Amino acid sequence: MKNPNPLLFLSLLMSLLFLFGCSMSNEEKQMNLDLIASEKTLPTNFHEIAFKRKEAPFFQYLVRKVVYQSEFAANWNFYGFENKPPSINLGIKISFLLGFKSLEVDLTRLG
């Protein structure tokens, strides 16, 4: 599987944060972001359920927001992470699980 393009992934993440940040007061806009896990794994049916861009740059992504610990554990397993899901206080934190795959061909690696 090809490594996801980090710039596209970062732009997607920043777009999501911008959307949620616009509806908050100045005090609420102060966010602490924690990366819980990053693995090269996707759900088995990712290609069937992920959003697919129809124009360049071509990529697929899947975003899930979880509110309850049971949802978090189920989605953790759905994404296929190897480790046990960590315990997170979802009463004070928001958790997103992101799946991303670039469909672009890197022409510099073909030659």
pLDDT digits (tens, 9 = 90+) for 43-53: 889 889 999 98
Q: Is 32 domain-assigned? A: no
How many structural domains compose the chain?
Answer: 1
* Type of residue found at 32: N
Residue-wise pLDDT tens digits, 4-20: 566 666 666 666 666 66
Let me know if residue 66 belongs to a domain: yes
Q: If DSSP codes are grouped into helix, strand and coil, which group holds residue 94?
A: coil
Domain of residue 66: give its range.
6-21+40-102
Report the predicted TM-score, pTM, of the whole model to 2 decimal places: 0.60
Measured distance CA(92)–CA(96) in Å, rounded: 14
Residue 23, SS3 per DSSP: coil
Rounded CA separation 106/111 (Å): 10
Residue 110 has pLDDT above 50, yes or no: no
In a domain, 80, yes or no: yes
